[in-house]
Structures are given as structure tokens and as C-alpha cells.
Chains A and B, each alone.
Chain A
């Protein structure tokens, strides 16, 4: 652990970076945990000015669409429903209200730390329907799969999942396909990659000629990943490399992946600020339809629901790496972690909240 925070190693790596950078370079750290680690360690202060680090769409709270929050609110408003979700989702604004506000009004909405807690809740409340609002990437979806399989085995009839799970690789494809993209390399998420491995990112190099490195979360890991990216750029040989070798194998975790595939199937999904991306979400397979909240409840919304950008919030541009949080007119004035307008300000791992809490760009 201490080696990974060793100032001598950090200094050597940052000198390597200084020597190998060739002009303006825009690198995107996809994962919110990386964003926070970068700010917390003051890593930017060790980088040459030519390197810009952009925060990507890797914070599950930030990319959950307003419409999906509205749907969760709608489910919570049904008779005899207990809606459960992860803590961060409570404060995410939908188009009108948040789950937290709805709870204050008396709706039965509960925070869980693990989806499996919902099984106990279902057994204790046989007269109620327990609906888990499932957000998150490939890191969380396998545990939801396992919970659904257990619920099926236990023949629980009052447990359901409303899945808005997202997949990382299709979002990166969408970012690179957009004309406005100016990303020279990706620092890929460590946790997601322990599940899916490095192969699903192969298209970054083969189709888009964009270098990428799967990185660990210690400051020295991230510096080394940046070194590796710069070497790929310099050599003109884009690749998918693994820096986080202690945890990530090219084939990922086959058991977790097969668990995922047993329960879920990829489907189009709406990302806040980005829009609908094909094959970027996870829906329940027909075999699990009895546990699928989407089949159980009418989740259609009034067509007058305001669009994502109505407030002037730049979360979408920030998630796409076009703007940085301080470009947003609402940043720090009408949008703060205490009173967030956009989802990027809600989660501790959202890029706006990281910029706010760690003093703007000076981190």
C-alpha cells in the first residue's frame, strides 16, 4: 500500500510523463472513483500543463436519466410498495422531485447497502411489494443477478427489480462516435474491468485508434497508467493495456459475467446528458419477467416531462468530456453539493462535486 503512495516513485513517474508528453493531450478518466483519487492526491499538480484530465460518464448516480428517477418515484407512489435503492440515489433530482423528497412526504423508500438485503425485507413484509431500483455498472449488476436468482429459488412473489443498469464499453463507443469527441486516451475503470476484463474494450484501439489503460486506484497506479498511455500515443500503437494487473485479467471474472448473462440481456438505455445509447443497459431476461418491475407497473410518463437540459445545467457536456464543471454557469452558485441541480453534484464521485469539494481546477 505504501509503495503506491511513495513520493519518490510518484516523482519519477511524473518526470517520465513530463519527458514523454507530446503537445496538448486530453485523457479521460472514465470512473468516478478515479476522479476522486486524482483530486484527493493532488495528482494534477504533478502533471505538465499540456495534459488535461477529463472526468467521464463513470458515476452511476450521474448517468441515471431523469426519466428513470421519475419512474422510480412513480413506483414508490403505488399502494403497498417498499422501494429500495442505494443511498446516493436518494438525492438525485428527477424532473420534479427526488426519492429523498418523496420519502419525506411519507413514501416507504429505504436505503440498502446490498441488493441481497431486499430478500429479507420481502420475507418480513409479505403483504408488500419490495422493488429494488437497481443502478450501477458491471461492478454492481452481478450481485443483483445473484439476488434475482436467489429470489427465484426462494419463490419470493413480492420482490422485484427495476433495472437501469448500465454497461461501460457501449458508452465509450458513443463518446468516440460523436463528432465533438476530442479524447486522446482513456484511463479505464479498475473495478468494472475486474468483472469484464480487457477484451470488451478492444474496439477502442482497433476501430477508433484510441489508446487505453485499465488503472488501479492508488495515485501511483494512475500516474503509471498515464505513462503507459503516453507511450502508446508516442509510438502510434493504440492498445488496451492493463496497469491494474493485481486485480484485472484479460478474460475478467467469467463466473460473474455468466451470472450477469444468466439474468440480464443488453438493451437500449438512456444516459443523463448523453441520450439513448444502443445496447448500453441491462434488462431482465424473459425467464425473470415475474421479478421485473417494468412488466408489473405502468411506467409510462406524461409526455410533458421536461428534458434534461431545461435548467441550464451542463452535466451532459461534463459527462461527455466537452466541458469541465467550472464552465457551468450554475456551478458553485445555484448548484452545490447541498442543493444540487445536476446529478454530477449529488454523488461524492460525481465530477462536479469533486471539483467543488477539492477547490476547482487547482487540485
Chain B
């Protein structure tokens, strides 16, 4: 165990001290603090792996309340017999992701459990970030009149993972969008601190996230199907498998509710960031149909967007 931490984990993640706790110096009026566990199957998928996912996921949770991520901890639960080279690859991917996001991994832990007691590797990450003064982003702060901005095409992560798990080959391959969103959110906040609500639509997809915001903020949300960017490969895969892209998981896009007067400015700042290049205005919050999300479809019809319940299953006929 000593050698696993000292010889592999610490140097891979650049952890320099071995006391029981890391000492951190933070000056801030308010902090954001979050934790998440990652059990994705398969652990390597087109566009990423469980390591980059675990770092980006926690970075993004911090970024979605407007926080600047500073420090992160990593806990690994490893199944006995897990290949060392795979572990090293995952750790190096975590280190790269942390460097890209500008967050420091300051503490780590590993536990090895017996064969069959875990599925290869599970990762928990926790993160701390500083929230700038004057920023009050929350899923319950959306207001009628807010513009709804999406930072890029949806559905890539879910399709990439399903394709890898089930052995589907798409040409060109659909890549996961796992990426840190903290610099993008920083760019947005440099235009205005008046971002009312912001989320990264992970499990449950964009549809579920918008419904959650509509319910917690008590607003109606109206979105236009044609305005939502979806890559051709993702669209094709969804039609083939019977999935609705609105409910397919993402790991690298955000949706923000911004007051009308700031919307254009925020959108153009987002488009200058490589991770927001395809940002689009997809709709607005309204005072009507509170708690409901209405989708204006490509053919001009209207329908409700509900939360995802159960699983999306491949169709059989």
C-alpha cells in the first residue's frame, strides 16, 4: 500500500506532502465545496476516461455556481488484480485534466478491495473553489425574460459511452465532450455577474436539467428544437438507437439563464472560448406555463419536455 501511494499515486498526481491533511490558504468571502463519485463503464471511452471525467466533473460542479476551482482531493477504490498500466494511464489523465483546469490535487487515498467487490476502479473527487463577490448563481434564480444559452452540441458523452460499451462503431467516431468548463464560466462572468442560473446537463441530459430549473425557479421555459446544436453523428446514433438527444448525458456543455440585456455580450464572450465556440441562444424563460419546459419543434409543433424517468432503452422494432 505504501508503495502504491508513494511510488505511483503521489508522483502521478503531483502530491508533495504526506501529512494526514493538506494545509490550504484561502481568502474568500464564500467558498464552493462539492463531491462526486465516478463508476463509468467502460473506464476508457472515445474522447476520455474515468480519470479525466472525475476531474472535469468536479471542476464543472464548482464552475456552475461561478466558483474558481482551487483544490481537489482524489479517492480511488481499486479491484484486486486491476492492471497497473491502466491505473497509471488513468492517473496521468487526471493530472492532465487538473493542469488544464488549473486546479491542484492536494490529497489522495487508495483502497484495494477483493476481486468482485468493485468493478475495476471507482473514483471519488471533492473540490473547493472561491466564489467571486457579487455572484449568485443558482438553479432557482432564473427569471422570466432570461435568455437560455447553451455552450455547445449535446449528447456526445452518452453516445460515446454507449457505443464503446455495446461495441457500436460510428464513422467518424462520436467522442465524449468531457472537458473543464471553469474558464468558459469565468469568461462569461467577466461580461456580467448577473448570470441567474447555470448547470451542466450531465445525467438526464439537457431536457431534465431545464425542467429542474423551471421547477425550482418557478418559471416557464420555451426552447426551439432547431436552435439546439447536435452533431450529425449523435443525431444519427440517437435515431438508430431510439434515444432522444435531449435526455442523453453530457460532460462538457453548460446551459445558462442570462438577463436579456446581457445575453448578446455573454454569448459573444462564450464563442471566443474554444469550449464555447458553438454556443447558441436556444430559448427564454417566460412567465407562462410556470414549472414547465415547452419545446417548439422543427415542424412548428409544441410539446412538453419532462424529466427523464427510467432508462432510455434501445428500440427493438
A137 and B299 contacting across the interface, CB-CB below 8 Å: no
| Given A33-B315, A347-B315, A46 and B299 contact (CB-CB distance below 8 Å) | yes
Interface SS of B by simple majority: loop
**Whole-angstrom distance from the CB of A70 to the nearest CB of chain B?**
20
**Whole-angstrom distance from the CB of B228 to the nearest CB of chain A?**
13
Pairs A-B, 9 closest by C-beta atoms: A42-B301, A359-B304, A337-B310, A42-B303, A10-B299, A86-B316, A7-B300, A5-B298, A363-B303
A336 and B317 contacting across the interface, CB-CB below 8 Å: no
B295, B306, B308, B316: residue with the most chain A Cβ atoms closer than 10 Å: B316
In the complex, chain A residues 4-47 whose Cβ is within 8 Å of any chain B Cβ: 5-7, 10-11, 31-33, 36, 39-46
Name A219's closest neighbour in chain B (CB-CB): B299
B292, B313, B317: residue with the most chain A Cβ atoms closer than 10 Å: B317
Residues of A within 8 Å of B303, CB to CB, are 39-42, 45, 358-359, 362-363
Question: A326 on the interface (CB 8 Å rule)?
Answer: no
Question: B242 on the interface (CB 8 Å rule)?
Answer: yes
Q: What is A's interface to B at a CB cutoff of 8 Å? A: 5-7, 10-11, 31-33, 36, 39-46, 58-61, 86-89, 91, 113, 135-137, 139-140, 191, 219-220, 223, 336-338, 340, 347-349, 353, 356-360, 362-363
Tell which of A33, A39, A46 touches B317, judged by Cβ atoms closer than 8 Å: A33
**Whole-angstrom distance from the CB of B177 to the nearest CB of chain A?**
23
Residues of B within 8 Å of A220, CB to CB, are 299
**Complex-state Cα separation, A356 to B310, whole angstroms:** 11
| Given A336-B309, A357-B309, A42 and B316 contact (CB-CB distance below 8 Å) | no
B242, B296, B308: residue with the most chain A Cβ atoms closer than 10 Å: B242
Residues of B within 8 Å of A360, CB to CB, are 304
Interface SS of A by simple majority: helix
Known contacts A40-B244, A41-B303, A357-B308; 9 additional CB pairs below 8 A are A7-B298, A32-B317, A41-B297, A60-B316, A89-B316, A136-B317, A347-B316, A356-B306, A363-B303
**Complex-state Cα separation, A86 to B299, whole angstroms:** 32
Residues of A within 8 Å of B305, CB to CB, are 359
| Given A42-B302, A359-B303, A219 and B316 contact (CB-CB distance below 8 Å) | no
Name B235's closest neighbour in chain A (CB-CB): A1
Number of chain B residues whose Cβ lies closer than 8 Å to a Cβ of chain A: 25
**Complex-state Cα separation, A139 to B300, whole angstroms:** 31
Interface string of B277-317 (1 = CB under 8 A from A): 00000000000000010011111111111101110111111
B304 and A44 contacting across the interface, CB-CB below 8 Å: no
Name B166's closest neighbour in chain A (CB-CB): A113
A191 and B317 contacting across the interface, CB-CB below 8 Å: yes
**Complex-state Cα separation, A58 to B309, whole angstroms:** 22
Interface string of B47-88 (1 = CB under 8 A from A): 000000000000000000000000000000000000000000
Residues of A within 8 Å of B313, CB to CB, are 87-88, 91, 347-348
Name A223's closest neighbour in chain B (CB-CB): B299
**Complex-state Cα separation, A52 to B42, whole angstroms:** 45
Identify 18 residue pairs between A and B in the complex whose beta-carbon atoms are under 8 Å apart, listed by A's number.
Answer: A5-B298, A7-B299, A10-B301, A33-B317, A41-B297, A41-B298, A42-B299, A87-B314, A88-B316, A89-B316, A140-B316, A219-B299, A336-B309, A337-B310, A338-B309, A340-B310, A358-B303, A362-B303
Tell which of A33, A44, A46, A363 touches B300, judged by Cβ atoms closer than 8 Å: A46
**Complex-state Cα separation, A340 to B312, whole angstroms:** 14
Tell which of B295, B296, B317 touches A59, judged by Cβ atoms closer than 8 Å: B317
Residues of B within 8 Å of A191, CB to CB, are 317
**Complex-state Cα separation, A348 to B314, whole angstroms:** 8
**Complex-state Cα separation, A31 to B316, whole angstroms:** 12
Interface string of B208-250 (1 = CB under 8 A from A): 0000000000000000000000000000000000101000000
Interface string of B146-179 (1 = CB under 8 A from A): 0000000000000000000010000000000000
Residues of B within 8 Å of A87, CB to CB, are 313-314, 316
**Complex-state Cα separation, A126 to B317, whole angstroms:** 30
B315 and A349 contacting across the interface, CB-CB below 8 Å: yes
A40 and B297 contacting across the interface, CB-CB below 8 Å: yes
**Complex-state Cα separation, A39 to B296, whole angstroms:** 12
